[in-house]
Amino acid sequence: MKGGYDYIIIGGGIAGSFLALELSKSSKVLLIDKGPLLGGATGSSAEIITLQLPKPFINWALESIKIYEEIGAPLKRMEAILATNEKCAERYLKILNSVNVKSWILTRSEASRESGLTLKGSNYVYLATLDALLEVGKLGNLMRLLLTSNNADIIEYKEAKIKDEKIKIGEEFIEPTQAIIVAGGAWTPYILNIKAEELAGSRIYKCEAHSIDLGKKLKTIFYEDLSGAYMVPESSKTATVGDGTNVAISKPEDGFVPTPGSVYEVLEGLSRAVADVENAIPRTSWAAPCLISGDGWPIVGNISERTYIFTGFDGVGLMIAPALARMLSAHLLKGRKLPQKIYPLRKVKPWEGPPKEPPEPYRFGC
């Protein structure tokens, strides 16, 4: 295998591929992944780009949308309706208004009409924003084309190991002139041969999603905030649903096995607000491993002189990874500082998981 690479990136998901794209504009880059670009956990996502996030996550999401638009990504802006309580609606509105994101309150009849759902419950406040859906499969093809045009090299290899800041692929060792960046998502601790909790108190868990036959067309993205459940349009009668349930797993491979019956827990949460799901028929389920830090912030930065980590997105990689890739690229190429809050070796107590509330800043506990 030829050498001469400035940067070698392990992991071709949303984080690694966008970092490779940024770095390859001015440097020689090698991107290594187990399979096709944006496969793995990224390929199993619900494809939502939500703006109902805390700061600074919402700023990163807004920048990511601009980056998607810059490269001509298959991004479709779509109204999203959040069913929440009055206190949380006020909190979301304050944040959205502070970053000039258009948001508005709907009555239940308006929310029902716009979403196409039969909504119920008297205690909900309906907050609407303009979110987006991203076609990940098409984006993977686009990223390969863009990286190839930047003369980046992409190889598929099942297992790459790091030793003495060199990467072993088969019987060969490759050493970059600048840095190795591990963007392997939940596999990152295993690639580095360290414990997950050593990386900002992180833990690995399983993200799950399900396809249901709703019997009618869902016109918007819909969130039931109190249970964390969501619904995404799929076809004329089907929708993708999930609720971010955190199921701890011992190794990333276990994350691809859906939990039996978990779809019914999602439907139960949605049934508080949506009458239509009471007769919904589950079709298929899928899952993927995710990584969350002990404090909810991403894990980005160096752990040695020339080894960096780029992970810890807790299921919101599509929303914030492109912006953080541009930030990390500016650090690597121009020496710009990274926020201390995302430093990989920060001392954080691991999050214990449900029923304890998830850590700030990603979740509000609303």
Domain boundaries, the chain: 7-342
Percent of the chain with pLDDT over 70: 95
Q: Which residue has the higher pLDDT, 284 or 353?
A: 284
Please name the amino acid found at residue 317. Answer: G
Distance CA 218, CA 238 (A): 8
pLDDT tens digits along 189-227: 999 989 999 999 998 988 899 999 999 999 999 999 888
- Check residue 361 and give its pLDDT: 54
pLDDT band, residue 360 (cuts 50/70/90) = low
pLDDT band, residue 358 (cuts 50/70/90) = low
In the predicted structure, residue 311 carries a pLDDT above the cut 50 = yes
pLDDT tens digits along 107-132: 999 999 999 999 998 899 999 999 99
pLDDT tens digits along 10-22: 999 999 999 999 9
Q: Which fold has domain 7-342?
A: FAD/NAD(P)-binding domain (3.50.50)
pLDDT tens digits along 91-110: 889 889 988 999 999 999 99
pLDDT band, residue 354 (cuts 50/70/90) = low
- Check residue 357 and give its pLDDT: 57
Please name the amino acid found at residue 290. Answer: C
Contact 78, 117 (CB under 8 A): no
Strands (E), 111-160: 125-134, 153-156
Percent of the chain with pLDDT over 90: 69
pLDDT band, residue 164 (cuts 50/70/90) = confident
Contact 291, 248 (CB under 8 A): no
CB atoms within 10 A of CB 223: 25
Residue 274 is given by DSSP the state B
Report strand pairing: 29-33 vs 75-84.
unpaired
CA 207-130-227 angle, 5° bins? 40
- Check residue 72 and give its pLDDT: 97
Distance CA 246, CA 228 (A): 11
Mean of pLDDT values over 281-300: 92
Strands (E), the chain: 7-10, 29-33, 48-49, 75-84, 103-106, 125-134, 153-156, 161-163, 166-169, 172-174, 179-182, 203-213, 221-224, 229-233, 238-242, 247-248, 281-292, 299-302, 307-311
Residue-by-residue DSSP string for 210-223: EEEE-SS---SEEE
In the predicted structure, residue 175 carries a pLDDT above the cut 70 = yes
In the predicted structure, residue 356 carries a pLDDT above the cut 70 = no
Q: Please state, rounded to an integer, the average pLDDT across all residues of the chain.
A: 91
pLDDT band, residue 353 (cuts 50/70/90) = low
- Check residue 364 and give its pLDDT: 44
Q: Which residue has the higher pLDDT, 108 or 43?
A: 108
In the predicted structure, residue 59 carries a pLDDT above the cut 70 = yes
In the predicted structure, residue 365 carries a pLDDT above the cut 60 = no
